[in-house]
């Protein structure tokens, strides 16, 4: 298992500014992920954070908007850049083990972002 | 593409009532299916899973059966408690993938 701490838990930001969300895991993990949950919507995978290399982004998400760092096997950050009200969402950090039927995923408590 | 559809909430029940939360999926192959639960102020936690057709996942009194013929994975509990109040997410993952695909979540509120 894994215990994940996310900071901040919530924030209210002005449009045009940027917010960096931190994710700390209590053990070394290979796979770390960032999800977005827009109001009333599914969780959508933004990117996979790779240690020592650039993140892998899903369709519809770009590095300029959501730069990600992964300096070691226990920590990652997601920045939401040049924010607009449409970025108001819950952002979740996740770590994963295994593939397919062996998939196990653990989640942080999320960061609730409101852009005004 | 692959997707998961859940019944909309909120679902409001009295304590000891029977619970069903519907989940159906669309997938090109044979996915593994999951239910996750998110209690207030906490992260998502795995509640149960099923990896092949006719498998039944169960945990904490909750059950769900993988129905390939109806592409469904409905969550049930015979007698809910106030402590079951949470948001429930149905999800799938395809074989050889690590990418979970989630439904939109269903909020359950259980009243004493």
Confirm if B45 and B37 have CB atoms less than 8 A apart. Answer: yes
- Please name the residue of chain B whose CA is at the shortest distance from the CA of residue A33: B99
Cβ contacts of B101 on chain A, cutoff 8 Å: 42
pLDDT of residue B27: 93
- Tell me the residues of chain B between 34 and 53 that have a Cβ less than 8 Å away from chain A: 34, 36, 41-46, 49, 51-52
For B50-78, what is the mean pLDDT? 96
B5-41 pLDDT tens trace = 998 889 999 999 999 999 999 998 889 999 999 998 7
- Tell me the residues of chain A between 19 and 38 that have a Cβ less than 8 Å away from chain B: 31, 37
Q: How many residues does chain B have?
A: 112
A2-61 pLDDT tens trace = 899 999 999 999 999 999 999 999 999 888 999 998 887 888 999 999 888 889 999 999
Cα-based distances in Å from A46 to A36, A103, B86: 7, 18, 24
Confirm if B102 and B3 have CB atoms less than 8 A apart. Answer: no
Confirm if B54 and B65 have CB atoms less than 8 A apart. Answer: yes
pLDDT of residue A42: 82
> Which distant-in-sequence residues (6+ apart) come within 8 Å of A110 by Cβ?
A6, A9, A37, A90, A91, A92, B43
Which of A103, A104, A107, A111 should be substituted to probe chain B, the one whose Cβ sees the most B Cβ atoms within 10 Å?
A103
What is the largest distance, in Å, between two alpha-carbon atoms of chain A? Answer: 42
Mean pLDDT of chain B: 93
Task: Return the closest-CA partner of residue A94 out of A81, A78, A80.
Answer: A78
The answer to whether B41 contacts A98, with C-beta atoms less than 8 Å apart, is: no
Cα-based distances in Å from A42 to A46, A60, B42: 12, 15, 17
Confirm if A6 and A93 have CB atoms less than 8 A apart. Answer: yes
pLDDT at A98 over 80: no
pLDDT of residue B89: 96
């Amino acid at each position: 298992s894994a215990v994940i701490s996310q900071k901040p838990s919530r924030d209210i930001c002005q449009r045009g500014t940027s917010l960096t969300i931190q994710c700390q895991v209590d053990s070394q993990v290979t796979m770390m992920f960032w999800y977005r949950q827009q109001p009333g919507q599914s969780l959508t995978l933004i990117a996979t954070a790779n240690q020592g290399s650039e993140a892998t982004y899903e369709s519809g998400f770009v590095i300029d908007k959501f730069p990600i760092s992964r300096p070691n096997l226990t920590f990652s950050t997601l920045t939401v850049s040049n924010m607009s009200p449409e970025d108001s969402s819950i952002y979740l950090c996740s770590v994963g083990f295994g593939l397919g039927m062996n998939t196990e995923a653990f989640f942080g408590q999320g960061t609730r972002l409101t852009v005004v | 593409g692959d997707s998961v559809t859940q019944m909309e909430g909120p679902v409001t029940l009295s304590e000891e009532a029977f619970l069903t939360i519907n989940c159906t999926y669309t997938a090109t192959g044979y996915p593994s299916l999951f239910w996750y639960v998110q209690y207030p102020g906490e992260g998502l936690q795995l509640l149960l899973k099923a990896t092949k057709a006719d498998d039944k996942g169960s945990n904490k009194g909750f059950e769900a059966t993988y129905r390939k013929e109806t592409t469904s994975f409905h969550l049930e509990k015979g007698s809910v408690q106030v402590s079951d109040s949470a948001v429930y997410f149905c999800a799938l993952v395809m074989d050889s993938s690590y990418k979970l695909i989630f439904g939109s979540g269903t909020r359950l509120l259980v009243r004493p």
